[in-house]
Structure 1
Amino acid sequence: MIYSKLWLIPIGILLFLSSCIKDEAKNMEADIVSVNVPDSVINTKPIINNRNVVIYIKQGAIDLKKFAFEFELTPGAVSVPASGSEQDFTAPVAYEVTSEDGKFTKTYHVSLIESSVPSNFDFELFGQDEKKKWIYFYEEVEGMQQSLWASGNSGFAFTAGNNPTEQSYPTQSTSDAKYVVSGEHALYLETKSTGFLGGLVKKPIAAGNLFIGSLFSKSIVEIETRFGLPYNKVPETFEGFYKYEPGAKVINAQGQTVDVTDECDIYAVFYDRVALMKGTANDDVNPGRTWLTDADVKNSPYIVAIAQVKETGKTDGDGMVKFTVPFEFKKEFNRAEVDAFRYNIAVVFSASKNGAVFQGAVGSKLIVDNVKINTK
């Protein structure tokens, strides 16, 4: 009787194994991960962040009215329009990317830009992330929307909770008449706590910041900051209006109190993008990039000129304070190569001067408006 039922054992094993083996889960990501544009037609490497793709094209190198933009997606994802289809890029083109499992979609706005970073910034133009509610600033030049500003908001979103508001984030806008110098809005930056999760990875604060460049964040520990975009003018002075109020207690990356008063940071850097890309300096550790990083944005050997506000402590009175700072030139430049977009500009604002190493005071506030780069 026992032996007569032994033949059932292999079948039972097969049924058990088949119940344990499931189809491999389909990919949930919906990202543009890389783009395919010939180096011969671009001024700098394409910028890809969580929402935008920005490509600086050499003037006249392509026909913007019918350009076949090619890109790579996360495995299994599809896009509408499809990669390689001809589109009119005289305005940003929206690409909707859907994940392999069909459950997630993301819209990327792709801009092909032939013009330089502008020289005047009044922080009037901004949008809001539909899901996480953080705001992002942009500029409009010659009728084209330029997504040239970046901030830490997308990284902070990982710690912002389930129902964040614009005010939850470090980088915001304000319409308070006390601070608006021109237009209807000013830039408002506030250093925020990143809560338990941030403290766990030794990133207890997020400084309110805004900078010309790009930031890509996959998680609270995978955040890459890239400073600078093409600029075809020679800067002479950097000016604008600001107000600063430091928070009560500065803490470091370990969450320990530091016996100093918080300071803000406001500066602009003009640098040689081509030399940086070629890696001609003896101490270069990462040739091939066209951007500056947190580690070298103020001390890179490729910096041609820098302008930095020196009075970085609490400002006097309730209103805004004017700053005017000359660019200090450290290297010679070639005017013809300026015209040919050899150089980049980075403009940086931060509510906590040491925010890049996660040191600052929660509640430090920096308001900025009507900023200009005067050129010669």
Structure 2
Amino acid sequence: MKLVKKVAAYMLFASVLLVGAASCSKESDNHEAEIEAVQLKEPVSLGNAAISGVKITIYVSKDADATKLSPVFKLSSGATISPKNGSTQDFTNPVKYVVTSEDKAVTREYEVSVRREAMLSNPFDSWEKKPADASSDNSIYYTPTNSDWSTANIGNVLLRGLGYNVKNTVDQTEDAFQGAKAAIIRTEFVSDKPVFGQNTPIATGSLFLGSFTTLHLMTDPLKCTSFGVPITRKPLSVSGYYKYLPGDKLTDENFTVIPNGKDSCAIYAVVFTGTEPLNGRNVLTDSRIIAKAVLKGGKQPVYTKFDLVLDYKRDVVPGENLMFTIVCSSSWDGNIFKGAVGSTLFVDDIKVTTKNI
């Protein structure tokens, strides 16, 4: 009997050890479900992918085939991913990936998208009608063809739809320095009464590298402009040709004439870090800016060459995420709704000089 009791006690002790060992093993399993880095099997990557929370952007060359790309993800220790890591996917639209932690307790969904290398230089010879199927002249505007250059024209279209007689602030023109066409950028009248509860008497024309969203049009229109495109080379300088005819009467945000005031145009280039664009409130002041070059121009009736050399506050760090914008504006203080209706800026043949980082 004593022998039986000893054997039973030994077996109980052994089982406790096994359960304890199993418990320790499970407790040691990693509960993180993170994507830490991304690389492509194909030789079309332009450097580090941008990981911002659960959104990942992979930058590829202009000739990359986005329908057949095979990203390889570095995951948290022991984690798994679906679709299968390294499998070929069609990135015409963003692809959803689900990461599961080693202990199976945590899952996290990521959205992975592909973005081609930005086209920085532009001769502004080719423009396209938007929307392509527009049936009303009131809804038509033009934008540079197949490029990363944007305007606020869609905002002007929406304002017209709400009854404001505002003209498009950016258009194509045959009055070019060279080539078939150039860009013409104007400051236009909106209303001498508040628009959406804000004093916005004028719409300043802006042609820029980036995108425009109507999301904030009624609440904070300066945030509608998303300035910046991702870059993998270091911009050194920006050149081009411009002429400028300021409007007759400079007015403030209340549409009050400023005695003896003269409008000025703005052409500037900005390099900044991160993956989030700048906007009309911080494009020249944000703490992420590491280089900029600015031209503030008065009346210039004939095309004149400009050369902007970027002044860097510090060296570019290899591997850091960089963005770049060029902004051409018909009124220097348009961001505070100060300008002259009729101010007109012509811009042609912008070229950006870059070098490897």
Name the TM tier (shorter chain).
Answer: 0.5 to 0.7
- The answer on 1:121 being equivalent to 2:122 is yes
1:304 alignment counterpart? 290
In structure 2, the CA distance between the partners of 1:151 and 1:369, relative to structure 1 (3 Å rule), is same
Instruction: Report the counterpart of residue 75 of structure 2 in structure 1.
Output: none
Matched, 1:320 2:303: yes
How many Å separate the matches in 2 of 1:43 and 1:128? Answer: 33
Return the match for 1:347 from 326, 334, 338. 326
Alignment match, 2:243: 243
Distance 1:43 1:156, change over 3 A: farther
Amino acid at match of 2:129: Q
Structure-1 residue corresponding to 2:267: 266
Over 3 Å counting, the alpha-carbon distance change for 1:124 and 1:254 in structure 2 is same
Q: Deviations over 1:35-88 (max 9, x none)?
A: xxx895684589xxxxxxxx952349x972258xxxxxxxxxxxxxxxxxx857
Is 1:208 matched with 2:205?
A: yes
Match of 2:32 in 1: none
1:210 maps to amino acid: L
Aligned to 1:365, which of 319, 341, 344?
344
Matched, 1:149 2:128: no
| Post-superposition CA distance 1:306-325 (Å, at most 9, x none) | 11114x1001x4x3100112
Distance in 2 (alpha carbons) for counterparts of 1:235 and 1:218? 30
Output the CA distance in 1 between the equivalents of 2:191 and 2:164: 14
Amino acid at match of 1:354: D
Secondary structure, in 3 states, of the residue corresponding to 1:332?
A: coil
Structure 1 residue corresponding to 2:319, chosen from 337, 362, 366: 337
Question: How far apart, CA to CA, are the structure 2 residues paired with 1:235 and 1:329?
Answer: 10
Question: Partner of 2:178: helix, strand, or coil?
Answer: coil
Partner of 1:64: 66
Aligned to 1:187: 183
Structure 1 unaligned residues grouped into runs of 5+: 1-37, 47-54, 68-85, 94-110, 140-145, 275-289
User: What is the aligned partner in structure 2 of residue 278 from structure 1?
Assistant: none
* Structure 1 pair 63–119 and aligned structure 2 pair: CA distance change class (3 A): closer
C-alpha displacement of 1:269:
0.4
What TM-score comes out, normalization by structure 2 length? 0.64
The residue type paired with residue 140 of structure 2 is: K
Q: 1:366 to 1:59 in 2, by over 3 A?
A: closer
Shift of 1:134: 1.3
Structure 1 residues 362 and 227, CA, compared in 2 at 3 Å: closer, same or farther? same
Q: 8 Å contact 1:56–1:114 — kept in the other structure?
A: no
Structure 1-normalised TM-score?
0.61
Inter-partner Cα distance in structure 1 for 2:140 and 2:248: 27
Give the deviation of 1:255 after TM superposition: 1.6
Matched ranges for 1:272-291 at <5 A: 272-273=273-274, 290-291=276-277
* Whole-Å separation in 2 of the counterparts to 1:251 and 1:39: 51
User: What CA RMSD, in Å, does the superposition of the two structures yield over aligned residues?
Assistant: 3.3
Question: CA, structure 1 residues 44+175, in 2 after alignment: closer, same or farther (shift >3 Å)?
Answer: farther
- Kindly state the Cα deviation for residue 182 of structure 1 after the two structures are TM-superposed: 3.0
Cα 1:210/1:134, change in 2 over 3 Å: same
For 1:156 and 1:45, the matched residues in 2 are separated by: 34
Q: Is the 8 A contact 1:237 1:327 kept in 2?
A: yes
Tell me which moved more, 189-198 or 238-247: 189-198
Equivalent pair of 1:158/1:219 in contact (CA under 8 Å): no
Aligned length: 260
Q: Is the 8 A contact 1:269 1:307 kept in 2?
A: yes
Residue of structure 2 equivalent to 1:137: 144
| Pairwise CA distance, 1:163 | 11
Q: Distance in 2 between matches of 1:299 and 1:291?
A: 13
Q: Percent identity?
A: 27
State the alpha-carbon separation in 2 of the partners of residues 244 and 229 from structure 1.
26
CA distance in 2, matches of 1:198, 1:174: 32
Larger radius of gyration: 2
For 1:347 and 1:58, the matched residues in 2 are separated by 20
